[in-house]
Amino acid sequence: MSYGILSFGAYVPPLRLKRQAILHAVGWAVPSLRGLAAGERSVANWDEDSITMAVEAGRDCLVGIDMAIPHLSLASTTLPFADRSNSGVVADALVLDNQVATEDLAGSRRAATSALVRLAQGAATTLLLAADCRATRPGSAQEMQYGHGAAALLVGTGKPIAEFLAVASRHEDLIDQYRAADAEFDYALEERWVREEGYLKIVPEAIEQAAANAGVALGDIEHIVLHGSVDTARALAKRLGIEAKRFVDTLGATVGDCGAAQPLMMLSLALSQAAVGDRILVVGFGQGADAILLRTTPALAAMQQGRGPGRYLTHQRVSDNYTYFLSLRNQISIDFGLRSERDNRTAQSAFYRKRRDITSMLGGRCRLCNTLQFPRSLMCVNCSASDAQDGESLSGLIGRVKSFTEDWLAYTPSPPYIYGNVEFQDGANVMLEFTDFTAGQIKVGDSVRLVFRIKDFDTKRNFHRYFWKPAPLIG
């Protein structure tokens, strides 16, 4: 038993927007974007945010993990709530014990790597999550460059897949970009200045210190994770005297820059491809730099199959509809008619009483006849036994579409509104709203997975409600 990274995971939303579509829409005003208009970027659906994406990354990370998680940390620069435990919502959705210690980490794109630096010193087993769903100003370079996504690491004592060799950090208040507390969009400074003064002066100090602490030559590091552009990686490789091919793919062509989640996203990609004994250097940048040096162990091979961002790169729905993108991100006001004008006030007292049923998708399994049902009730729907149900979450089960309706009259930010009955093994039948399906895609008998998503918005009181929805399987 030793200390290190025990597992990893990631999540990328299935929707992709072609960057050519952005250029086609705004190129008349900003022709300079032409050089950025290759590939595509990930786009969160209207019912996704940093919380829901973190849940998906956490689920990916915890597949096959059977251990108590005493601590959960969520790093993000786009947390939905300023005064509510965002990480607490994630913990409930992941069906963690209510004794788990939760914390929200924010204020910097280095929030996740700075947390990893602290964890490298030794701590209680921690699920470290990072997610960002950053808004972008139409026609900006960020609209082209950003993406939405999340990543996760489980760090603690056990049989690690990667061990910490050394860490180093540098704080320098070099403002490469920022967003004021009351602002919607990031403000970025000139790229060349940031590269010359930040990446080529501050980052090398942290990297060289970490390598010296570990007694490792820079040329012996097989994989380098750098939160930055390809051009920046080339310049840094030249500055450090190492091969540029050692830098891990930024996923810029297919996903984009996922903010605080980007270093962990790239680390997840590196871990899914690394060989036993490889050294991985993770660099976080933003008002300073973090450097974490790792070495993989023989336990990695058993963890690599079907984990990390790789499978999400093929599970995608590509769009060239720029207006649709703006609507999903609430940057264009579509008149959805009278049906969209409803008050979605949440009864907080009722939610509190049913919070585990709702957030954890906690149903009940009868101890006498094994029937599973949702929600739990005092009496079994099959054998009528009273007070004989044990709590069991349906969130990880595969369901089958029993019936569905595509409704073009009911309101949803992404028409049509698809809802129907989903049945699960051992008897549970639940009427649910579907997500990530397009018109005509779903049919009776299809297998579906459950994903944690935004149910709706209470715009008068600025509250988000979350619930579980059936979505297509990932191949």
| 472 contacts: CB under 8 Å, gap ≥ 6 | 14, 436, 437, 441, 446, 448, 449
> Low-confidence residues of the chain, pLDDT below 70?
none
Taking residue 136's Cβ as centre, other Cβ atoms within 10 Å add up to 21
CB 185 within 8 A of CB 177: no
pTM of the model: 0.96
DSSP string covering 36-57, please?
G-SSEEE---TT--HHHHHHHH
Cα–Cα distances in angstroms (integers) from residue 47 to residues 133, 182, 328, 461, 465, in the given order: 12, 23, 9, 18, 10
> At CA 312, angle to CA 309 and CA 313, rounded to 5?
90
Predicted pLDDT of residue 122: 85
> At CA 117, angle to CA 260 and CA 187, rounded to 5?
30
Predicted pLDDT of residue 123: 82
| 75 contacts: CB under 8 Å, gap ≥ 6 | 105, 106, 111, 112, 115, 128, 129, 130, 131, 260, 261
Cα–Cα distances in angstroms (integers) from residue 315 to residues 211, 222, 393, 403, 453, in the given order: 37, 28, 25, 24, 18
DSSP string covering 278-294, please?
-EEEEEEESSEEEEEEE
Query: Going from the N-terminus, what domains does the chain have, and what CATH number goes with each?
Result: 2-328 (3.40.47.10), 344-472 (no CATH)
CB 74 within 8 A of CB 91: no
| Of 444, 233, 462, 448, residue with least CA distance to 345 | 462
Predicted pLDDT of residue 339: 80
Predicted pLDDT of residue 50: 98
